[in-house]
Structure 1
Amino acid sequence: MNKCHIVVFSGGSAANNLVDVFGKVAEDKGCSLSYIIPISDNGGSSSELIRVFGGPGIGDVRSRLVRLIPEDVSSPETTAIKTFFNYRLSADSTEARHEWLDIVESRHLLWTSIPSPKRELIRSFLNTINLEIVKRVRPTSSFNFQSASVGNLFLTGARLFTGSFESAIYLLGAITGVPSNVNVIPAINSNFSHHISAGLEDGTVITGQNSISHPSAPSAPTPAPLTTASSAVNLKDDEELISPLTSHARTLSKELTEHDHIEDANLPGSLPTLRKQYIAFTKTHTSDLPSRISRIWYINPYGQEIRPSPNSKVIESLEAASAVIFSIGSLYTSLVPCLVLKGVGEKIRNAGARYKILILNGSLDRETRAVGVEFGAVDFITAIAFACKGGAVREEEWREYVSHVIYLEGEGTPKVEREVLGRAGVECVRIYGRKSEGEGGGMLYDGTALGQALQAIIGGGKKGLLDRSRRNTLGITGVAG
């Protein structure tokens, strides 16, 4: 590790918009940079890979690697490579299968501008997973190529060939030219699936990341539906499961039996909600949670709580960190699954990083908005601290996990309790942004302003930047604390 090292906790799509900002800050300070990415997502095309092959949810890892490919508009090869690994097959499953065969057999237009040596190297791993897909075809189960990510298929093929998830990540990074001073680290280094559950304050338990963040119906018919459309199960339902005489127990028993006849990568008797395809989903138009999330934990395939160890590189990165950044994105399904792993919270609290910076979301989502509840900065910080500590955290302890909050003001943004945070020693930095035109409103970060704020906090910006920010210069509009 370099003497200066920045660690960023983030998920995939939201934080991808800030990759250039983090990269420039690291470059200006001469720092190395590590992204710690969760692997618990069981939605989208990853759900089908998990169902058929097992293994971690790789969508966010692939998304970050492809986003890190250096921009070079003058290079047709670079553009083609980026397009290739970002490409999704048709939303029609039959058409998607034919399109996949064109790619594997080197007939697809995606191969244009990719030179032959690199094309054949990539194709070798696509052929590996294609062979594995064919081998796993059964009367009860076949692979659904609908909306499949070519990059996800490549990573899975490389993982199966090498037997190592991290080797697959290294290979994709090497092929695409990801800078050597940037590390993409899966929170858990595993060839197995890791799922999460969320406990709500009203006692409800929601199983699986897809059901927590963007619940959707299975993408293909399932043997038997649950008694409700949601995969949420509350404590009362759990009590009912004990009795074989209840209709719920009979329905669940039938569904488990039907699923156990399907030959895929799932263990017999594992939870039905973890065994379904959730290929088609939307992150908008989701209903509010009935109650706020109180805790996130990992589960085994049968729903029992476990506490996995993190990737050893996560601990090494935190030990070397000069600054830790909690990026924008899903609080409970992107950040918290990384923080609840054994020893991660302790390292954040006790390692040498002086700056622990929360970049507050520019809008609220399903995870931070329940019926009658809208999260503010204090709620974000207490959720992070609770996950790190594994229990309730006093106000005077907040700064041990979050020292600075960068935020935006505008319609749809979380409120920032500046006085409360100032009393706890957490500094608040308000910067300029722009209004989001997307569904749900909110605000978007301006890259220049965010970069200047990070430089000022970490100490790599121009001298006196935070003082001058009080006069509304350089895009930073206020500091408190």
Structure 2
Amino acid sequence: MTFIRVEHEVALPDDLRVARAESAPHLGPRILFFSGGSALNGISRRLKHYTFNSMHLITPFDSGGSSQVLRRAFDIPAVGDLRSRLMALADETVLGQPDVYDLFSHRLPKGADNAVLRDEVAQMVDGKHPLLTAIAKPMRQLIRTQLARFAEEVTDDFDYRGASIGNLILAGGYLGNGRALEPVLFLMSKMVDVRGTVRAVVDENLQLGVDLRDGRRIIGQRHISGKETAAIDSPIARLFLSDGETELSPDAVPLPDRNRSLIEQAEVICYPPGSLYSSVVANLLPAGVGRAVAKQRVPKVYLPSLGRDPEALGHDLTDQIAAILAPMLHDAGPKTAPRDLVSHVLCDTSLPAEDCARVEQTHGIPCVRLPLAENGKERYDVDRVARVLVSLC
């Protein structure tokens, strides 16, 4: 069974290509994802069996959970989704490294007294906490340095309840490196031997905003996703970047050259499962993304979420693709065709054939139906998806 790619034509997985990748994942394909949240983490973990070279551009615009507490306290981009993907791609088998993984994944209890939690973090800064003493000394000192910088900046009223220690380490590293994410992401990747590249799509402390079809405007990811507040009750018409009060022009938020370079290296580009607007489309808003994607002559596939997505209220598959295309078409210019940005849609066979036909009629994008879901469940079989993506390279 072979994926046949002639000007983006696609058939079935190539078992030989997959076996080759599995035998030498350090030479594996460069698959680039525009994503955020946790929906891709299972696929990312499985993908480590086939490639150590996947690339993940992550939205830093989350405004919920412990990321929001850090954003308010330090005026920093959201780090939770970045930390989550680093952990999904970490090598959990290296001798001694699981202790670092455990620390970065540790979350303080939500129901504990805040003063007790503050003291627990102070123990970590001093290197006396069990999670720190379990880590070898050179690595332990690096981690303590990041936490110490966090402790220097934090105020006494900071809410530690539910905080991720990995997020606190990232925040400390951000503050200690001239308020830049890239150095601390690089350091954290080395600490847990990340099998891939994880970057924020832009290093900016911004908010997401949407215009709803009923004319209302909402600013703040947590109010859009429906996870911490009531779900939106009118379909989203448009997503934009905001300084927290007003809409920003896309030209005001350019894609960094280092991330443009990642797009240029990609052998496959994937718009993966996840909240349609806040996890996927959000990464396509910075100026230059559409132009960079359009230039690449590689498969560019949309893998739609299975099950209900509150952000996709009132959206069929054709509407979802239109939402992905909109910011990139605006950026790439009128001569760009939809298929220059999304070459294929990969769907599970549970999706009706007529939905696929409508996608092709509306956007001119082929829709390939494959058995990708776990049997009887509204979620993907992570190994099937990983193998399909590897086969596209």
- What is the TM-score of this pair, normalised by structure 2? 0.84
Alpha-carbon distance in structure 2 between the residues aligned to 1:435 and 1:98: 47
Q: Does 1:45 align with 2:66?
A: yes
Number of the residue aligned with 1:78: 97
Q: Does 1:336 align with 2:350?
A: no
Number of the residue aligned with 2:356: 418
- After superposition, give the CA deviation of every residue in 1:431-461 in whole Å (9 maximum; x if it has no partner): 242268xxxxx61111232133223433xxx
Number of the residue aligned with 1:357: 301
Alpha-carbon distance in structure 2 between the residues aligned to 1:334 and 1:35: 12
- How big is the shift at 1:310? 1.7
AA aligned opposite 2:92: E
Is contact 1:432-1:445 (8 Å) kept?
yes
List gaps (5 residues or longer) in structure 1.
218-285, 437-441, 459-481
Number of the residue aligned with 1:404: 344
Alpha-carbon distance in structure 2 between the residues aligned to 1:34 and 1:202: 37
- How big is the shift at 1:355? 0.3
Change (3 A) 1:124 1:383: same
* 1:49-448 alignment, distance < 5 Å: 49-72=70-93, 75=95, 77-91=96-110, 92=112, 93-133=114-154, 136-137=155-156, 142-163=157-178, 164-179=180-195, 182-190=196-204, 193-214=205-226, 216=228, 286-287=230-231, 289-307=232-250, 308-349=253-294, 351-369=295-313, 373=314, 375-390=315-330, 397-410=337-350, 417-423=355-361, 424-434=364-374, 443-448=378-383
1:296 aligns to what SS in structure 2?
strand
- After superposition, give the CA deviation of every residue in 1:239-284 in whole Å (9 maximum; x if it has no partner): xxxxxxxxxxxxxxxxxxxxxxxxxxxxxxxxxxxxxxxxxxxxxx
Is contact 1:6-1:323 (8 Å) kept?
yes
Is contact 2:45-2:88 (8 Å) kept?
no
Number of the residue aligned with 1:7: 32
- After superposition, give the CA deviation of every residue in 1:361-394 in whole Å (9 maximum; x if it has no partner): 111221012xxx3x33212211111121139999
Is contact 1:37-1:338 (8 Å) kept?
yes
Let me know the Cα RMSD of the aligned residues: 2.6
- How big is the shift at 1:23? 3.5
My pick for the range that moved more, 377-386 or 104-113, is: 104-113
1:12 aligns to what SS in structure 2?
coil
AA aligned opposite 2:161: Q
Is contact 2:43-2:386 (8 Å) kept?
no
- After superposition, give the CA deviation of every residue in 1:61-118 in whole Å (9 maximum; x if it has no partner): 111112211121x73x222111110111121334322322232233322225311221
Q: Give the structure with higher Rg (CA).
A: 1
Change (3 A) 1:401 1:416: farther
Report how many aligned residue pairs link the two structures: 359
Alpha-carbon distance in structure 1 between the residues aligned to 2:50 and 2:359: 26
Alpha-carbon distance in structure 2 between the residues aligned to 1:111 and 1:3: 34
- How big is the shift at 1:327? 1.1
Alpha-carbon distance in structure 2 between the residues aligned to 1:415 and 1:366: 23
Is contact 2:71-2:77 (8 Å) kept?
yes
Is contact 1:378-1:416 (8 Å) kept?
no
AA aligned opposite 2:167: N
Alpha-carbon distance in structure 1 between the residues aligned to 2:333 and 2:234: 21
2:379 aligns to what SS in structure 1?
strand
- How big is the shift at 1:302? 3.0
Alpha-carbon distance in structure 2 between the residues aligned to 1:414 and 1:66: 35
Change (3 A) 1:402 1:68: same
Is contact 1:21-1:448 (8 Å) kept?
yes
My pick for the range that moved more, 83-92 or 298-307, is: 298-307
* 1:461-472 alignment, distance < 5 Å: none
AA aligned opposite 1:11: G
Change (3 A) 1:416 1:209: farther
Is contact 1:431-1:450 (8 Å) kept?
no
Number of the residue aligned with 2:45: 20
Alpha-carbon distance in structure 2 between the residues aligned to 1:443 and 1:414: 14
Change (3 A) 1:25 1:353: farther
- What is the TM-score of this pair, normalised by structure 1? 0.69
Is contact 1:362-1:407 (8 Å) kept?
no
Is contact 1:199-1:205 (8 Å) kept?
yes
- How big is the shift at 1:33? 2.5
Matched residues, percent identical? 27
2:240 aligns to what SS in structure 1?
strand
- How big is the shift at 1:50? 0.9
Number of the residue aligned with 1:236: none
